[in-house]
Structure 1
Amino acid sequence: MEVGIIGTGNMGRILIEALLDGKAVSPSSMIITNRTLSKAVAIQQNYPEIRIGQNIEEIGKKADLIFICVKPHDVFDVSRKLLPFLTKEKCVITITSPISVEQLESILPCSVARVIPSITNRALTGVTLLSFGQNCKTSWKNRINEMTEHISRPLEIKEDITRVASDIVSCGPAFYSYLTQRFIQAAVQETKIDQDTATILASEMLIGLGELLRQGHYTLPTLQEKVCVKGGITGEGIKVLEKEIGNMFEHLFQATHLKFEDDLASLRSHYINK
Structure 2
Amino acid sequence: MSDPARAMSKEDAYAELLDLQSGDVIRLEGQGGPDGVSLDGWDGEQPQDGNVAGVVVRYLASGTVTFGQPSHPAAPDRLDPRNALALVRLCQWLKDTYNVVELYHLGISGGGVDSQGRPRTDCHGQGRAVDFVGVKAVAEDGEEWTLTVSDDWGTVSTAATPGGNWPPGTGSDTFYRLDDEDADPFTRDFWRAVYEFAASEWQDRTDGPDGLDTPTSIGERSFVMHPDHPATAPGTPHGREAHKNHIHLQIGVTGTAA
| Structure with greater helix share of residues | 1
Please indicate the TM-score interval, normalised by the length of the shorter structure: under 0.3
Query: What TM-score, normalized to structure 1?
Result: 0.26
Structure with more relative contact order (C-alpha pairs < 8 Å, separation 6 or more): 2
Which protein is bigger by CA-based radius of gyration? 1
